[in-house]
Amino acid sequence: MTKFLIFGLMLSLVISTSLIKNSTRDLDEQIYSIQENLLFLEDRFKDSKLEFDYLSSSEKLLEYQKLYFENALIKKTLSDLKILKVTDNGIITDELKILGNK
């Protein structure tokens, strides 16, 4: 009788160990997947923050204009803007129509 009891106990321990091991492996895979996604999102966040920090400041934009373009950029009004269409017959320019101004 004790042999059956010990055999049953050993069998239940082996089965419970394999179940625990499988569930632990699944949890490890989920944790790894979440960590990889988190690293990817952190990289995208850092890139976006860097872009925002350097391009959102008007002082920085003026500094970049002076540094890279010197006097190549000139101010235009909306009436100076045109629509450029390239067709098979050539290039056509149209006036820019601004909606909402009445």
Q: Is the pLDDT of residue 62 over 90?
A: no
Question: How far apart are alpha carbons 94 and 84 in whole angstroms?
Answer: 7
- The 10s digit of each residue's pLDDT in 28-40 is 999 999 999 999 9
The mean pLDDT of 17-26, rounded to a whole number, is 93
- C-alpha dist (Å) from residue 100 to 46, 69, 95, 97: 38, 33, 16, 10
64 pLDDT band (50/70/90 cuts)? Answer: confident
Token pair 């959102």: residue: 56
